[in-house]
Amino acid sequence: MKAWRSVWLQRLAHSLVAHHDARGVLLFVMGAWPMLAVLWLMQTVALLGLAGTQHFHRPWLLGVHGALSALMAWLLGVAWWAWTRRWRTPAQPGLVRWTVWPGVLGVTALGLTYGLTDTPMALVLMAQIVLARSVFKWAQLRPAIVAAFVLVAVVGLDRLGPGQDLSPMLRAPVFSGEPMAPWWLWWTRITFAVAIGPHTAMMFFYAGVFARRQRALETLVSADGLTGLLNRRAFLERFEREAHRQARSGRPLTLLMFDIDRFKLVNDRHGHPAGDTVLAEFGRILRDHTRERVDTAARYGGEEFLLLLPETDLAGGERVAAKVCDHLRQHTFQVDAAAFHVTASVGVAQVVEGHAEAALRLADNNLYDAKRAGRDRVVGGVATPEPVRPGTDRAGLFQ
């Protein structure tokens, strides 16, 4: 259930961000129709004489109720039309126009009959505009919004004269300085809740969309695209933090540096896609041998990989390195009709007193020694802040 919901939310977010017009229309109607339905029900209660009848001019209420019914029926028809076109091309400007203009101007007119300055209908109108802006492009929405504000301005100026009612449908203002009638107490509360509900839901939804996109961007920046492991920059940042923690706590911390033996020959004999397969498979092997939320694996560059093991001493790091190498050695790679195996050399260094740079240098030197000793082996040591050994020539060993 959770996986299905996650997939559905991702598709919904993609439709919103990509501005698929038909799906945007469906979402707009899904958000706007419940608001209008609640207003319709409250007007029906007043028309039937069950409550609140004395607060309305009945001819106005009948006309507004009929117009609201027509608007709701229109939006349902538009939603059905959008449903039949939801898998078609994303750009369907005609469908959007038939939705936005009645939706925005209809609610604007409804708000003006109640009085935008004397009731929560201004909030309903703003919620409608925010909802429309969430699912449609600004260029599609702008003409209807401009027309709505012009209508509000013209009607507002006309009602500024003496003796003009701010709300032509109501017999008396909702807020008159006297205690509010029970009808208006309930009406304002329900209208406020109906208006703020979709608005709040959209805000929470977009907050979730932005959070997921931020996590995706962070992963894109910090991860290697081929293996899914951390990249060099992200690993070194984490290594620095772990080294500082090791210096404070004195707990063991070990670094492993892997290099695929004779990787250049794999590319030359079997092609670069085969080389990519080897790298991706080795990344999977490293993930399988790491403790979740404890160890850190990364692709350092080319065919070199790093593995950081907190709470692990030199002997433990060498055991992990041997297991990884055994697993890689036993794996059979298949390219067309050719099968081949690869091995890896490993340099291991235990961090001492938080000297991350010294550990990285020692792991590199130990990897060099493993290559020089015949490859497919593990060489380890305890790191101390010493200068790089002179005369180290790695030419030809990492081919």
In a domain, residue 395? The reply is: no
* 362, part of any domain: yes
pLDDT the model gives residue 279: 96
Same domain, 183 and 261: no
Least confident window among 53-62, 115-124, 298-307, 346-355: 115-124
Task: Kindly tell me the burial class for residue 223, based on how many C-beta atoms sit within 10 Å of its own C-beta (0-12, 13-18, 19 or more).
Answer: middle
Q: Please check whether residues 64 and 150 belong to one and the same domain.
A: yes
Q: Tens of pLDDT along 189-230?
A: 898 888 887 777 777 877 777 777 777 777 777 888 899 999
Indicate if 175 and 285 belong to the same structural domain: no
pLDDT at 15: 54
Q: Are both 147 and 271 inside the same structural domain?
A: no
Return the structure tokens found at 293: 């939320």
72-91 confidence digits (pLDDT tens):
999 999 999 999 998 888 88
Q: Which of 71, 95, 78, 73 shows the shortest CA–CA distance to 21?
A: 95
Q: At what angle do helices 21-47 and 93-114 cross, to 10 degrees?
A: 30
What is the mean predicted confidence (pLDDT) over 363-391?
85
Q: Is residue 398 part of a domain?
A: no
335/265: higher pLDDT: 265
pLDDT of residue 395: 39
Please tell me whether residues 86 and 171 are part of one structural domain. yes
160/251 same-domain check:
no
Give 14's pLDDT tier (boundaries 50, 70, 90): low
The count of domains in the chain is: 2
Per-residue pLDDT tens digits for 145-183? 999 999 999 887 766 665 556 688 988 888 877 788 888
* 207-221, 328-342, 361-375, range with the lowest pLDDT: 207-221
394 lies in a domain? no
Tell me, yes or no, whether 102 and 157 share the same domain.
yes
Residue 393 inside a domain? The answer is no
Which pLDDT value is given to residue 393?
46
87 and 210 inside one domain? yes
CA atoms within 13 Å, Cβ hemisphere of 246: 24
Residue 390 has pLDDT above 60, yes or no: no
Instruction: Please check whether residue 76 lies inside any domain of the structure.
Output: yes
Indicate the Cα dihedral angle 351, 354, 357, 363, nearest 10°. Answer: 0
170 shares its domain with 276:
no
Q: Is 396 a domain residue?
A: no
**Catalytic one among 242, 303, 304, 318?**
303
Please say which residue of 170, 194, 222 terminates a domain: 222
The pair phi, psi for residue 353, each rounded to 5°, is 55, 30
**Residue 7 pLDDT greater than 80, yes or no:** no
Asked, for residue 278, whether it belongs to a domain, the answer is yes
Residues of the domain holding 358: 232-382
**How far is the C-alpha of 375 from the C-alpha of 156, rounded, in Å?**
85
Tell whether 202 and 134 lie within a shared domain: yes
My answer on whether 272 and 341 are in the same domain is yes
pLDDT at 394: 44
| Domain boundary residue, one of 222, 243, 267 | 222
Looking at the structure, tell me whether residues 209 and 262 fall in a common domain.
Answer: no
Q: Is 303 a catalytic residue?
A: yes
pLDDT computed for residue 398 by the predictor: 39
Could you give the C-alpha distances from 119 to 62, 106, 128, 174, 190, in angstroms and in order? Answer: 19, 17, 16, 7, 12
Q: What is the mean pLDDT of residues 378-396?
A: 66
- End position of a domain, from candidates 195, 222, 249: 222
pLDDT (0 to 100) of residue 123: 87
CATH number for 325: 3.30.70.270
Q: What is the DSSP letter of 257?
A: E
Helix or strand (DSSP H, E) at 348: strand 344-350
